[in-house]
Chain A
C-alpha cells in the first residue's frame, strides 16, 4: 500500500492558478494543450544551483520560481533523495533529466504540468489484483491527466497519468472522489468493481470559477456575499457602445435605464434601488483595479443649445470588446471594502489578458442598420386641420389661429428628422504569452449614426494589457487610450423658442412644408418653436473626447502565500464640445450666429499598497488576510466661452474673435477632492463547509465636514456549504446548497464639493451703469458636521444546484437602509437660503432577487436558459422635521414628485381623473369654472365636517389639496430571460426583458392635454376621439378650454403605466468547423435588437427616462429607441 500525499504541491499551485484564471480560459487552455504543449517549457529558462538538496526541495524551488507544477505520487524514496543541481539558463528538460532517473520515471510536460510517473506503473498493463483502476476522460473522450482520485474522507489517493489512467489500492473506502479544476467533482460508490472509468463533465455553472471582489479574487463557490458575475457569454455584446449597456437586464437587482437612446447617450444604473435623495445613487465603477469618477467631463451644452437631463455616457470611451468579465457587488459584505463609495453597489470591470503559450489574432466586427422602433402617433395634416378648426368652432383658440390650408400634403416631422442609420464596429486583437510575459492588445473602431439626423458617435480605441513575471515579481500594465467623436443633436427639455429638434418635431405645424420657395426653412407664424429641420441641422454640436486610463502594478511574493502589491493608476479625460447655431435657425439669424466652446479636463490618480497572506493551517482551516492603504485624488477643470454675432456662418467656433466682443461670455471652474483609506479583509474557511468573511475600511474624504473627516465601514458575512454535509448528501437532491448571510455598513460620499463650507461664489447678475458687473454672494449655509450617508444592509442568500448543477439557482433577500441621509433640509427661505445639507432622514430598499440557470439539454443539441427576477420596495422612512418635499419639473409642469415618509421616493403626486364632464352632469357640486367636455378631476375628501380629524367631505373645488399619490418609478418586479440553443455549428440566443408595475410621466402627453398654445401638433388618439356633444366620451376631454382648470398636468392620464415586455436581442450564429492551419475559429451571426415591445405606454418608449434620475421617470422629448439589425463575424487566426 502506497501512501499518497494529497499532492501538496498541486494543491498550493492550483490555488494560485485559480487566482489568475477563470474557468472559461482554463478550459480553452486545456483544449489547446496539445498544440502548445512545449511552448512554455521551451521558453522558460531556469537557473538553479542547489547542493545536497532533496528532490522535494528542488521541486518546491522550481515551483516557486516558475509556473511549472508537478503532478506526482508522493514517494518518500524519491522525495528524500539528495541531488546536486547546477543549471544556468537551462530548460525544464535539463532539470528533469537531472532529477529523475530515466529508467525509473517517466515525465511528460503539458504546458506547465509536469506529470511524473514511475516506469512500471506507466506500463498500465498489469493491474494489481487488489487495486482499482480506470481511465478518466473528459466529455470529448480525451484522457484527462492530473485528475485527483481520492477515497472520500481520507488522504489516500493518486492522480491520473498522461493517459488519464489511475490505480488505487483497495481499502475500506466506500466512495471515490474524482476532482479536477474546471470539472464537476464526481463521486463513485464502490460496489466491488475493480475497474472504474469516469467521464468528468465541465462544470456546468462554473461554481469553481474565480470572481473579482475588489482588492482580490475568490472562488465563486467560496463567496459569502452577494456578487453577480458576468462573463462575455452572459452579456449583451453586439451593438452596444458601453459597459453599462452590456449588463442591461442580465442580472437581478441591477436596473439599467437608458437615459437617452442617442448614440453615446447616458445610462443610469441603480443597484438595489435608490439609496439617497440628494447624494448620488450611482454605483462605483472599478476598472482593472482603478475606481473611476464617472461624472461628466464638460458641463452644459452650449449657448442656445437645449440642455439635456440625460448626460453623455462617460463609459462609452471604454471598448466593450476588451471586457472579459464584470462583477457586480451588491451586498454590504461585498461592497464595504469600498467604504464611503460602496453604498450604491460596485461594478468591477476586468479587461482581457493574454493566454500563455498561444498567439491569437482575433477579428470581430459587425455592421447593421437602425431605425426607430416606434414613433409617436400625432395628428396628420388633414386631421390637424379638421380637429383644430372644429375646436375653434366650439369656442377654443383665437379666430386668427384658424387652419386655412395644407401645403402639398403637409409634413410628417418625425419622418423628416429621423432616418435609418448605420452602425458598425471593428475590433482587432492580438494576444498571447510566453510564460513570463503575456499580453492582450486591441484596436477598436466603433461608429454609430443616430436615427435622428445630425447625431452620431464614433470611437477609436487602443488597449495594451501586459503582464510580466520575473521570479517572484509580477509586473503588469493595463493601458487604454481612446478618442471619441460626438455629433450632438440639439434636443432636450427646453421648450418653445429654446427647444430642440425632437420637441419641434412633435409640436410643429404638420400643414407646413419643410422649405419656403427660396429654399429657406419655413417657420410658423403661430408658434415660436423653430422648424424641426432647422433645429436639427442648424444647431450643430461636436464633441471630441480623449481618454487615457491606465493602471500599473507590481506584486512580490515575500514568502509563499504572502504577497505585497503596489498599484498605481490614473484616468485622464479631456473633452471639448463645440456648438454653433447658424443663421438658418431663428435664433441664429436673430443673433448673427451663436458659438460656444466648452472644455473639460477630468483626472484622477490612485496610489495604493496592499498585502495578502494566504495560509492553509491544516486540512480544515485556511485563511486569507488582506490589508492596505489607498489614496485617490480627483480633479476637474472646466471652462466655457460663448460668443455671438459673427460676420458669417463660415468660421463657426474656429474664429471666436470674429464675434461681437461686447457679447463674449467666459466661465471657468475648478474642483478637487481626495480620499484616503485603509482597508482590511479576512476570509476564513473551515472544513470547506463554513466560510467567513470580515472586511473593514476606514475612509477619509475631503468633502466631509471638518469634524467628520473619517469613518469606518465594517462588514461580516458567513456561508455554509450545506451540500458538504452528510445529511444533505443523503437526500441526494442537491448538488449544491449554500446558505449565505451578511451584514455591513457602507457609505455614500457623492455630495459634491464644498458642501460643508460657507463660501462666496459668483452671485446674481447685477447691471450697474448699463453693464453687467461682478457679484459675490454666500453660496450656502455650510455644515461642518456634514458626513457621508450610512447604509446598513443585511442580505440572506441561498445557492442551490440540482442534477449535477444543471439547474442552478440563487435567491437573495436584502434590506438596505440608508440613514444619516444627506438631505437638503428646507430652511425658512426668509433666511435667503432654501435649504442646508444635513445628515437626517432615512430610506429603505428591500427586495428579492432570484436567478435561475438551467442546462435543459446538454448533448449535441444544447439548450441553456438564464432567468433573473427581482422585486424592489422603496420606502422613505424618515425625513426628520420635514413633512414632505414636493419637487421636480419638466417644461411647464412642476411639483411632479412627492417625497414623504412611508411612501416610495419621488412618488408621482397629482390628480385623479374621473372622466369628462358631461352635459347632463350636476355642475352645482363644483365651484370651478368647468363646462361639459372638460376633464373631471376627482374632488378628494378634504373637509372634516364632524371634527374627528378624518376628512369626510369634498370642498367643491379642485386645488392642491386634491392631489394624491398616483404612482412611482420603482418597478414592482423586473425580469430577464435569456435562452441559448445550439446544434452542430448553429447557436441561437434570444433575450427578453420585462419591467412591471412602474409609472412614468409622459410630459409630451401633458403638452397635448395642456397645450402651450393652440397651433401645435398634438397626439392623435385623444384629439381624434375627443369629447363633443355628439361623441360624449368619458375618456378624452373636448380640448376647447384645456387650461381652464389651471395647471393639473400631473394626473392619472399623463402619468402612464410604463411596464413593458421586450424582445431585446435575438442572435443567430454559425460556427465553422475548421481544420486548416490559418484560421483557428470563425463564426458568423445575424442579430436584431429591440425587435418588439409589448406596452401600453403612449410615448416613444417605456424603457427610457430622459429625466436621467431613475427614481423619477419623466419622458420629455426623448430620443427614440432604435430597432437594429446587424450581421457580424468573429475570426480567430
Chain B
C-alpha cells in the first residue's frame, strides 16, 4: 500500500517533468495576428492598407487639432478657453517649441505611422501570393499614402528622414532638400499610371489618378516649382472629371459631400471620428443662428474652447462675397438675446455647418484636403509667377470668384506680378479659411512672419516657417538634426 502510494506520487511528479518540455512555454497568440501569411490574402493586405489610410485621415480630435495648428499661427483665427488654449497660446504667440505635444503627435508621429504601415505593405507585398494586378494596385496605393504623409511633413518641417522600408535602421538622418523633392515628385508621378480613374476606385476613400495628380500639383506649388505645378494642374483640369460645386454655402454641408469638387477628402462620420471643428466654433451660450434659423440641439457639444476669427479677416471680404456667409457675426443665446460677435475678434467660422445628426463631438462633414478650387488657384498662381498677370490666371480666379457670387477681375486690375500674387493670397484666404491652408500659403508668399509682426507678435522670427523636429525624435535619433532656430 505504502509503496503503491509512493509510486503514484513519483509517477505524478514524473509526468510533470516530462510535460514540462519547452513548448509548454510557447506564447499563444489569441487576439493579435501572426504576421505570417497575412499578405497572402487580399483581405489581410487591404486591412493593413486601410490602416495606412486610417493614419493619413485627418479627422476627429486630431483633424480639428491639426487644422487649428495651421490656422492659429495665421491672420485668420485665434482661440480662447478650454484646455486647448494651452497649445493655442503657443501657436498664437509663436512660442511653440520642440516639446509642443500636438506638433509631436499630429505632425510627426501620426504621419510616420502611416509611412510605417505603407512600408510594411511594400516590404511584404512582393513575396505574397496575390495576383500581379492586386499587387500592382496595392503597391501604388501604399506609395500614395506614404507620399501624402511625406508631403504633409515636408510642408511642416522641410525634409525629414526618408524611410522607404520598415526594415531600415532606426537612426536615420534627414534627407536633403533635393532628395526630398525628388522622392515626392517621383512617387506621385510614378503611381498615377497604376491608379484607377477617379470614381473607379474600389472604395470611396482609396487613391485614384485624380488624387495623385492633385497632390503632385500641390507639392509643386509648395516647393515653388511653378511650371510643373501649372502642368500638373492642367493635367487634372484636362481629366474633365472635376468641377466647382455651384453653391459655396452648400458645399461643406454633410448632405452635399461626395461632390465633384472634392478631389481628396478626410472622411468623417457621426459615430466618430467625425468633424469636431464646429464644437469650438459655437459661441458660449449659443442657441440659434439667426439667418438660417439653425438651432443648437442637445446631441451637439459646445466646447469651452472658442475658435475665433480676427475682425481684420472678417472685414477683408469683398461686398457680396457668399463665402463670408459661412462666418457668423451674431447669434441668439439661450436666453433669447441676440449677441453680436463683431469688433471683438470673435466672429465664428461655420464652414463645417452643424450636422443635425451629430453624435456629441462628431459631426459628419468630410474635410476636403484638396478641392478643385485649390487646383484652379494653384495654376493661376503658378502662371502668374511664371508670366506675371495673364488672362488664364485671371480666368481661373474668376471661376472661383463667380461661384462665390463675385464679379470678375481683369488683368488690367493688376499692375504687377506682386499685385496679382497678393490678390491670389487674399482670394485663397477667403476661399480656404478653416481648411488648414493658411499657414502654408502665407509661408509660400513670404508673409507668414511679417503678418505675425503686424498682429503684434514680436516673437515671430524667420525660423518659425518650419516647425521644430520633436525633441523625442532628436533624443532618440542623434542623426536627426533640429531645424535652425529651435
Contact = CB atoms under 8 A, between A and B. Distances in A.
B28 A629 contact: no
Contact of B93 (A589, A644, A929, A960): A929
A766 B53 contact: yes
Interface stretch (A36-44, A415-423, A671-679, A1118-1126): A671-679
Contacts of A644: 359
Interface string A991-1010: 00000000000000000001
A1044 B48 CA distance: 44
A607 B16 contact: yes
Which 9 A-B pairs give the minimum distances between C-beta atoms? A832-B116, A766-B54, A892-B83, A763-B51, A828-B477, A590-B299, A1047-B86, A775-B51, A764-B54
Given A759-B34, A765-B54, A1012 B83 contact: yes
Nearest to B268: A767
Contacts of B289: none
A1132 interface: no
B160 interface: yes
Contact of B82 (A629, A668, A1013, A1049): A1013
Contact of B57 (A564, A670, A767, A1043): A767
Interface string B162-182: 010010001110000000000
Contact of A525 (B117, B163, B284): B284
B33 A768 contact: no
Interface of A: 398, 400-401, 495-497, 525-528, 556, 558, 564, 566, 586-587, 589-591, 607, 609, 629, 631, 644, 662-663, 668-674, 676, 700-703, 709, 753-754, 756-761, 763-779, 826-834, 882-884, 886, 891-892, 894-895, 927, 929, 959-960, 1010, 1012-1014, 1043-1044, 1046-1047, 1049
Given A830-B108, A830-B160, 6 more contacts: A590-B300, A629-B17, A761-B31, A770-B267, A770-B269, A883-B475
A830 B163 contact: yes
Interface in B68-99: 80-83, 85-87, 89-90, 93, 95, 97, 99
Contacts of A927: 459
B59 interface: yes
A629 B20 CA distance: 10
Contacts of A770: 204, 267, 269
B48 A828 contact: no
A662 B85 CA distance: 35
Given A759-B29, A765-B273, A556 B172 contact: no
A1002 B459 CA distance: 32
B285 A676 contact: no
Interface in B18-70: 19-20, 22, 24-35, 38, 44, 47-48, 50-55, 57, 59-60
Nearest to A662: B271
Contacts of A662: 271
Interface of B: 5-6, 9, 12-13, 16-17, 19-20, 22, 24-35, 38, 44, 47-48, 50-55, 57, 59-60, 80-83, 85-87, 89-90, 93, 95, 97, 99, 101, 104, 108-109, 112-117, 119-120, 160-161, 163, 166, 170-172, 203-206, 267-269, 271-273, 283-285, 297-304, 333-334, 339, 359-361, 459, 470, 472-473, 475-477, 480
A496 B82 contact: yes
B59 to A, nearest CB: 7
B475 A882 contact: yes
B32 to A, nearest CB: 4
26 contacts: A401-B284, A496-B303, A525-B334, A590-B359, A591-B299, A607-B16, A609-B9, A609-B16, A631-B24, A676-B24, A759-B29, A759-B32, A760-B32, A760-B33, A768-B203, A768-B205, A769-B205, A770-B267, A775-B48, A830-B115, A830-B473, A832-B166, A894-B101, A1013-B81, A1043-B85, A1046-B89
Most buried by A among B80, B83, B268, B283: B83
Contacts of B81: 1012-1014
A709 B101 CA distance: 38
A566 B120 CA distance: 50
Contacts of B160: 830
Nearest to B271: A663
Contact of B298 (A589, A607, A772, A1047): A589
B51 A776 contact: yes
A702 to B, nearest CB: 5
B78 to A, nearest CB: 13
Nearest to A709: B25
Contacts of A586: 298
Contacts of B268: 767
Contact of A676 (B20, B48, B51): B20
Contacts of A1043: 85-86, 89
A668 B83 contact: no
Contacts of A929: 93
A758 B35 contact: yes
Contact of B89 (A778, A779, A883, A1044): A1044
B329 to A, nearest CB: 14
Contact of B50 (A773, A834, A894, A960): A773
A765 B171 CA distance: 29
Contacts of B34: 759-760
A764 B101 contact: no
A776 B6 contact: no
Contacts of B116: 777-778, 831-833
Contacts of B29: 754, 757, 759
Given A662-B271, A761-B33, A892-B83, A753 B27 contact: yes
A194 B120 CA distance: 95
Contacts of B83: 495-496, 891-892, 1012
Contact of B51 (A556, A757, A764): A764
Nearest to A660: B271
A773 B283 CA distance: 34
Contacts of A556: 5, 9
Contact of A828 (B53, B170, B204, B285): B170
Nearest to A831: B170
Contacts of B30: 669-672
